Each structure stands twice: as C-alpha cells, then as structure tokens.
Structure 1
Amino acid sequence: MHVRHLSVADFRSYESAELPLSPGVSTLVGLNGQGKTNLVEAIGYVATLSSHRVAQDQPLVRFGAERAIVRAAVVREGREQVVELEITPGRANRAKLGRAPVPRPRDVLGTLRTVLFAPEDLALVKGDPEQRRRFLDDLLVQRQPRWAGVRADYDKIVRQRSALLKQAGGTMREGRGRGRRATRLPEGLEPDAAREDALRTLDIWDDNLATLGSQLLYARLRLLTDLVPHLADTYGAVSASSTDATARYRSSIPGPAGEALAEGFGSGEDVPTPDVLRGELLTAMGALRDQEIDRGVSLVGPHRDDVTLALGPMPAKGYASHGESWSFALGLRLAAYRLLQHDLQDDPVLILDDVFAELDSGRRERLAGLIGDCEQVIITAAVGEDVPSGLAGERFTVTTGQVSRESGEGVPAAGAEAVADE
C-alpha cells in the first residue's frame, strides 16, 4: 500500500499544494513552521478522519476559508482508489471514494492505513489515560473499520447517560430541599415519582452502555493480547535494551473482576467473552449507582479505563528516562505497524514526523534498519542530516508552504483534479 499523490486545498497553511509520492522513502525537509507537518497530517487524516495534533477540525481549515479539501490517490495491490474529504467546521464533513459520494465519511476508512509517529506520542507514556485509550481505539479502527461506528455510538451513550445521572441527582436534591442545585420538576410530578422515573430510565441506559461497552472492552483486550508480543520486540530493537516492555489493561470495573482483567492479561488466559464482560459492567454500575448520581458522571466503562505501560517491574510513567520514554512510544507505534502488516498481509504507510531529531545516533541507526524495507515511509525533518543516510529516497524541500524537489525543481500545482485525472 502506498500514497501515489496528495492534493490539498485550504488545508492548514496551504492555499493549494500537490505532492507526488513513490514507494520507498520520501523525506520532507524544512525548518519548523514551514508546513511539512501539515502535509503528513493531511495523509493521516485521510486514513483516520482525525488529526494527531488537534481534537477539532477548525484548525485544519486555512484562516479565512470556509472548508478544506484533501485528496489522496492510494495504490494497493496494483489498484488505485482516490479518497476525497471535504472538511467544513460546524457542518457535517463529506467524502468521496473515487468520484462517488459516500453516505458517511467513515465509509472511506480502510482505504488507506497509516501508522504515524510524532513528538506528540510522548504523551502515550507520560500523558493522561485518554491518550492511551485513543491509541487503542484508533488502532482498532485501522484494523477493522467497523469499530468506528461502535466507538461513536458508545461515546453518544456515555454522554446521554451522564446527562441523565445529573438529572437524577438534581431530582433527589429537589426532594431533599437543597436549593439552587436542584432540578426543577415538571408540574404535578412529586420528587419521589420523578426519582423513580429517572431510575427506570437509567436502567435502560445501563443496559445500552453495558452492551456496547462490553464489545469495545473485549476488542481492546484482544488487541492488547496481539500487540504486546510485537511491543517487546520493537522496544528492544529500538532501545537495544534487554528490559521487557509490557502493557496491561487497567479496567474501571472495581474489585476482583477488574483486577482479574489486569492480572489475566498477558498470562496466556483467554479474554472473557462480551457476555461475561457485559454482566460485570452491569454489576459495577449497580454497585456505583449512588456515587454516579451524586457526581453526575458515568464512573465505569471503557471511557474510564487505562493501559499500564511498564519497563520490567516499574511503570514507565514517572520512572522511565526521557530516552526510554521515546523508545517506548516509538516501540508502540512500530508494534502497531507490525500488527497491521500481519493482519492485512500488506504494509501500511509509515509516517515519521520530526522524529530523528529527538533520537541519539544509536537509536537513529537502529530505527533506520527496522524501517528500510517498508513499502512506503514518509519522513519530515528540520535538518536533512538528521535522517540516516541508509534511508535513501526522494527528498522535498518545504519553504513557507511551497514544495520543491531536492533538485530544485518545483512541484507543479496541477490543480484540484490532479489526483483523480492522473
């Protein structure tokens, strides 16, 4: 799999840009702020419908423009498909596959698969649980695009259930006469009756959350089971360390059931079935209901879980050195690459955004040795000399939003239809 051509219009700093690409290694060289990361961000967006830099779409649209267009010609097994995305903040984005519109943007997922490593990935080791949950869920979607729908539906259920918990909490405070924090009851509805009505509705949302939550939890556990053996290899290869890199799932399910998920994972035991996990989630929500109502949030479920990363017996967060943390984060991305490569029987596109400047010479050379035979590698660097000489390939210079080949020849701005018509 490789990207043959990228075309953007009104994306980030670019009014328009064309980037012809080939299999092998392509390096974009330019000082910080010149726009090289914007190009690889656009490629990553085609693959995942999200940015590795920002959570919202608004910053992706050039200032003063109404929308951004990203097109990529993707070649797999000799067949080319063109993906086009129209990004319009405040409105539903639109997508085309070939020249045909698709009902939902997520219908293009799976056409291009990428693994992107960037300086922001240090947060996988040092940051909040949200970063590690997103890593798992994004990899799930890359592996099987149908999880994008499950993930979106689950997030919607969590929001709706949390809103009902706040309503139920306000209803009970109204009954206890706690003044301004109380929720005003409908006319003619007594506090006790309103509370019973809210609790009955909560039962329905508990069931919905447990049903989808158990599917997502099961998928994450299976994913980690498959990922961790690759992680042990890739961390060791990058760091040249004999220390084992491991990852264990930490569930928000309290008590022995949640502890069993963490202890059982990685020891060869089978992942519990979705039905078993669904029962555990329902039990946990029942036990925590009073706390959830009092706080107005859903306290149990995949949205509250984490992954514990460790080097040997010590957790990586708080104990790993800066170099070890970089190696761990890079090891996670390379493990994801190997997993997708195994699943798809094809190489995803590997993107390394401003990575080599952060690595010492030993790690640079070891990384170069690991990725040199990938079908397509796209690298960004502020200084070309940071990229090991073993990663020979085409080079582009990026200067204030202009892209030129290393030879000095400009890349022609072939226009909005360039990708589709070439």
Structure 2
Amino acid sequence: MVDGVTLREFRSYRELQLQLEPGLVLVTGANGAGKTNLLEALHVGTQGFSPRTRSDAHLVHHDADHARVTVAGRREAVPTTVDVTLARHAPKRARLNGAPVRSAEHLRTELTTLVFTPDRLAVVKGGPAVRRAYLDRSLGRLLPSRAPLPLEYGAALGQRNAAIRRISAGHATRDSLSPWTERVVVLGAALVAARLETLALLARPFAERAEELGLTETELAYEGDPPSVDELDARVDRDLERGSTGLGPHLHEIAIRSRGRDLRTLGSQGEQRLAVLALLLAEAELLADRSRVPPLVLLDDALSELDADRRRILSARLGHVGQAIVTATGAEAMPLAPAQLLVVTPGSVRAA
C-alpha cells in the first residue's frame, strides 16, 4: 500500500510531496497536465523502470541533471520506503528501506505493480513477441520460484545461436552445438511448462472479468510445443543457413480469443482494450489471493473509451484489487466515488 510519494525534478514536476489514500484514487486534470507522469513516477518508484521509456534521461526534468522518486508505504503493515535516483549520464540507483539493491529493476522482485497504458493494447494487437514478454512477466509474478526461466532460456539460446554462427564461419565443428542444443531443450521444456501453468491460472479469472466487461467466451491458448534434441538436430542445416535457432519457445504464440475469434486480427480496438483490462484484473485478483500483499494497480486513461456501464463495472472491480490509481480528464469519468480525488495542474497536484 502506497502512503505517499515525493518527486524531485521528475518529468514535469520540480518538487512534489503527495499523500495517497488506500483504495481507489482518481487522478484528474487536463490533457498534458502531468497525470501520466505521476503514474509513471509510481511505477519507477516501485518497479525501478518506466513503462513508457527505457531512457532514464527522458525521466529527468528538462533543465536538471538528476531526478528522484521516493515512495513510502506498507507491506503487511510493515513500513517500507523505496528511493530511486535517476541521472542523465550515470546509472540509476535504488534503495529499499535504506539498503542499496543490486539494480533498480530488482525492485520488481520485492514489490508488485500492474499497469495499464493505452500502448498496452499491443499485448493483444501486437506481434507474438509482445505477448510472450507479457506472459513471461506474469509468470515471474505468479510463479516467483520459476521467474528466472525466461532469462535462463534466453541465455542458452544466445549461446546456441553464437555456436551456429561460429560453425557457419568455419571456426567450429558441428559437435560444438550439442551441449547448447541439450541445454535449450531442457530449459525450453521447463519454460513451456511454466507458461502453460501461468495461463491455466489466468484462464478462469480472465474469462470472468472479460464476461463482466461484455467480452464473452474468451480463452487464452498457448501455441507451440517444447523442442526435442531430435527436432533441433534435424533442422541444423536450416539453422546454419538462417544463422539462428528456428524452433523453440522463443517463437511460440499466445492466442487471445473471444467466441473463437483471434482478437489480434478479428477484434475491434474496443474488444482489444477490454481483453487487456481483463488480463490485468485477472492477474491482480490472483496476486491478491496468493499473497497477503495485494498489488498496486495503475491505470492511465483506461476509462475514456468505455461506455457508462463498463466504467461502472471496472470501477467496482478496482475497489476489490487493493490500491488502484486511475487517471481521467474529469471526475465524471468514474461512476463510483473514489476514496481520494486528486486534481493535477502543470507541475502540481492537490486533493479535491
């Protein structure tokens, strides 16, 4: 639970100290006032990185060299403070309860934040790589003991691809490929199993939340099987020609369907938005059930393209997922009264 946030030289904010209430917080203001910057700061302060950019320089106020985000809150009633310092020309630094963490991104293993931004529609409408990345992040949150699997598989795959290139260049024999083929097979099988388990966990709450929002008969389907040594050996010539491994979970697809239609190609933008929101709500529900510390949920401009009934349903559901912070251009966008209403004007935020 976030109790307060302090910003210094972050994006459009010179200096801001803000207290946050538990429950549903609505952040309102004109377009360009700084609502998204506030949510972005909360994501940086709890996850160590921005959901909008990987360039720390873009997070620093235009005429400053450093920015700082400090978030104070509670985990199971235990006071918790996170401090993240960003610099234009130096690595960012993070401290958790005063102690340095090995990397700012390590915060995501300690704190859980889920975010919706308009560009998250790419989870449905984008290419397979976007859905794989989304699923692997959910895997890390829902199955923390297996969170390293995507990185471990990626590292083994990188080594096999490097061996393929060495063989193609005449600097190694085909025998050098065998250890990495075996490693890719072992880790690939483990990764596929973990992905399938994650999808199985998400399937029911996703279908229920989607149904509430008017998206019926939804399903999540994994398309792809773990590679075997025989399969990889049989296509070595093709892999040598293309310079990389052409079989495995790095190429698998996750289909998101409604009434049998693949929403990537046959869904409207409204349906794609509902699917992404249903995924977020489903994971928030699972995390709240599986941990005594519910996630922080950030929704930027999630209400603008929903009709009144769907805004009411979403608002009611957000009241049950822990602490949720939602942006909108006006208070009328949310049918239910929030626990706290904040009004943003350029560079400042006040409680209404």
Same fold (TM over 0.5): yes
Aligned partner of 2:340 among 380, 388, 394: 394
CA, structure 1 residues 217+394, in 2 after alignment: closer, same or farther (shift >3 Å)?
Answer: same
Aligned partner of 1:329 among 269, 276, 279: 276
**RMSD, aligned α-carbons:** 2.4
TM superposition shift of 1:153: 3.8
- Give the count of matched residue pairs: 352
1:248 paired residue number: 221
Answer yes or no: is 1:105 the counterpart of 2:80: no
Which moved further from structure 2: 320-329 or 205-214?
A: 205-214
State how far apart, in whole Å, the 1-side matches of 2:167 and 2:304 are: 53
1:311 paired residue number: 258
TM superposition shift of 1:209: 2.9
Superposition pairs of residues 88-99 of structure 1, within 5 angstroms: 88=87, 92-99=91-98
The residue identity in structure 2 corresponding to 1:296 is G
1:200 paired residue number: 175
- Secondary structure of 1:358's match? coil
The residue identity in structure 1 corresponding to 2:257 is A
The residue identity in structure 2 corresponding to 1:33 is G
State how far apart, in whole Å, the 2-side matches of 1:106 and 1:324 are: 32
- Secondary structure of 2:313's match? helix
- Secondary structure of 1:109's match? helix
Q: Which runs of 5+ in 2 are unaligned?
A: none
1:168 paired residue number: 167
Q: Is the 8 A contact 1:281 1:300 kept in 2?
A: no
1:27 paired residue number: 26
Answer yes or no: is 1:218 the counterpart of 2:193: yes
State how far apart, in whole Å, the 1-side matches of 2:305 and 2:52 are: 18
Q: Is the 8 A contact 1:46 1:72 kept in 2?
A: yes
State how far apart, in whole Å, the 1-side matches of 2:4 and 2:25 are: 12
Superposition pairs of residues 59-208 of structure 1, within 5 angstroms: 59-88=58-87, 92-145=91-144, 147-169=146-168, 171=169, 191=170, 194-196=171-173, 199-208=174-183
TM superposition shift of 1:232: 0.9
Which moved further from structure 2: 364-373 or 40-49?
A: 40-49
2:42 paired residue number: 43
CA, structure 1 residues 403+299, in 2 after alignment: closer, same or farther (shift >3 Å)?
Answer: same
- Secondary structure of 1:318's match? helix
The residue identity in structure 1 corresponding to 2:131 is R
TM superposition shift of 1:144: 4.4
TM superposition shift of 1:99: 0.8
Which moved further from structure 2: 295-304 or 105-114?
A: 105-114
TM superposition shift of 1:301: 2.8
State how far apart, in whole Å, the 1-side matches of 2:59 and 2:231 are: 40
CA shift digits 1:147-167 (9 cap, x unpaired)? 554433433443443344333
2:248 paired residue number: 301
CA shift digits 1:304-346 (9 cap, x unpaired)? 2220111122211221223222211111111111111121144
CA, structure 1 residues 55+214, in 2 after alignment: closer, same or farther (shift >3 Å)?
Answer: farther
- Secondary structure of 1:62's match? coil
TM superposition shift of 1:110: 3.9
Greater gyration radius = 1
Q: Is the 8 A contact 2:285 2:321 kept in 1?
A: no
CA shift digits 1:82-115 (9 cap, x unpaired)? 1222344675443211111123435433432122
State how far apart, in whole Å, the 2-side matches of 1:56 and 1:120 are: 17
Aligned partner of 1:237 among 212, 216, 221: 212
State how far apart, in whole Å, the 2-side matches of 1:41 and 1:153 are: 29
TM superposition shift of 1:56: 4.4
State how far apart, in whole Å, the 2-side matches of 1:222 and 1:89 are: 41
State how far apart, in whole Å, the 1-side matches of 2:50 and 2:58 are: 10
Q: Is the 8 A contact 1:26 1:377 kept in 2?
A: yes
State how far apart, in whole Å, the 1-side matches of 2:14 and 2:167 are: 50
TM superposition shift of 1:225: 0.8
Q: Which runs of 5+ in 1 are unaligned?
A: 172-190, 252-257, 259-276, 407-422
CA shift digits 1:184-226 (9 cap, x unpaired)? xxxxxxx4xx341xx3333233233334333322211110011
